[in-house]
Amino acid sequence: MDYVQFGSTEFKVSRLALGCMSMSGAYGPADDHESIATLHKAFDLGINFLDTSASYGQGHNHELINKALQGRRERIVIHSKSGSPRAPDATGNRSGSTPEYLTQNCEQSVKRLGVDALDVFCMSRVDPDIPVEESVGAMAKLVERGLTRYIGLSEASANSIRRARKVHPIVSLQMEYSLWSRDPEGGNVQACREFNMGFMAYSPLGRGFFGGAVHDAKDMSDGDGRINHPRFQGDNLAKNLALLARFEEIAREKHCTPAQLALAWLMAQGSDVIPIPSNKTRAHLEENIKATEIKLGTEDLSRLDAIFPPGAAAGPRTKDMHRVNI
């Protein structure tokens, strides 16, 4: 496993991080025993970077990681997002960006994970009704208290990053990025490079699309969050599957799986781009790790860009576009 510098931190992180969301039921049922075995396998294969969130399974994800980390904490870098509250507070607010929510969330995350401090505490969304300076000011106090070593942002625009940095150093940005979600190329990745921040690409497999998980609406079970996703519905799904078929042809030529090709494309965008595929089984984990062995040339990248240029995917990347890239 290759390791790269993570922004301005002292961390050397694995070329692939492990996203833990699917271990808490985001894409259908998960088995805790297999999830812990998958985490241990990831550690054994050299992955030392975990992405989690307080909102994954409403604390279940943190408790699961706690069990898997026993005796291994010092080797692992933990990036934890704040998520958003399930219910409004006393004032009717459901924002995950208030100082009160961020403070409580970080405190609970440290406790559930069973660690002295998070490595990176990340605000999941910038709230347009709450100045980002106010949110980051509260997170800075968490650093002062020793509850987290660094702070990061998710789905923040280049402008919000610049504003936030005037309050406290921001070491990373997490944003959806894949061949079918190329919004970060519009200024977010560039801002990270300008300020020496790490960039974490969530949903690098298009929520399982590039992994071949969905070829028909019937492939999604009850409780699968993709059922209500715009790109997995009706005509949008049909159009996206037509693009996938062309993509799969290139994967066959490269003697790799579509998932491996999608991850290899992301890693080819720069050593500062860290894909965080979500895995809940050892089999998928081992498949994804092999993507680090694939080298794409200029012609390969041009062919992939021709299939999935920015804006090619049918449907918005989330039904809540008003909450991203703010």
Give, for all 326 residues of the chain, the pLDDT tens digit.
999 999 999 999 999 999 999 999 777 778 999 999 999 999 999 999 999 999 998 899 999 999 999 988 889 999 999 988 765 555 555 678 999 999 999 999 999 999 999 999 999 999 999 999 999 999 999 999 999 999 999 999 999 999 999 999 999 999 999 999 999 999 999 999 999 999 999 999 998 889 877 877 777 777 677 777 889 888 999 899 999 999 999 999 999 999 999 999 999 999 999 999 999 999 999 999 999 999 999 999 999 999 999 999 989 888 777 778 88
CA–CA gap between residue 106 and residue 100 (Å, rounded):
10
Which single residue is written with the structure tokens 């993509």? 247
> Residue 240: which of 321, 155, 181 has the closest Cα?
181
Alpha-carbon distances, residue 250 vs 200, 245, 264 (angstroms): 25, 9, 12
CB 54 within 8 A of CB 310: no
CB 135 within 8 A of CB 102: yes
Task: Tell me phi and psi for residue 3, to 5 degrees.
Answer: -125, 145
User: What was the pLDDT predicted at 233?
Assistant: 87
User: What was the pLDDT predicted at 57?
Assistant: 87
Catalytic residue IDs: 56
User: What was the pLDDT predicted at 257?
Assistant: 96
Alpha-carbon distances, residue 75 vs 11, 48, 123, 162 (angstroms): 10, 6, 24, 32
> Residue 192: which of 160, 216, 224 has the closest Cα?
160
> Residue 94: which of 122, 129, 134 has the closest Cα?
129
**Is 268 buried (19+), middle (13-18) or exposed (0-12) by CB count in 10 A?**
middle
Hey, what CATH topology would domain 3-323 get? Answer: TIM Barrel (3.20.20)
pTM: 0.91
**Is 243 buried (19+), middle (13-18) or exposed (0-12) by CB count in 10 A?**
middle
User: What was the pLDDT predicted at 77?
Assistant: 97
User: What was the pLDDT predicted at 89?
Assistant: 57
CA–CA gap between residue 53 and residue 62 (Å, rounded):
7
Largest separation between any pair of C-alpha atoms in the chain: 57
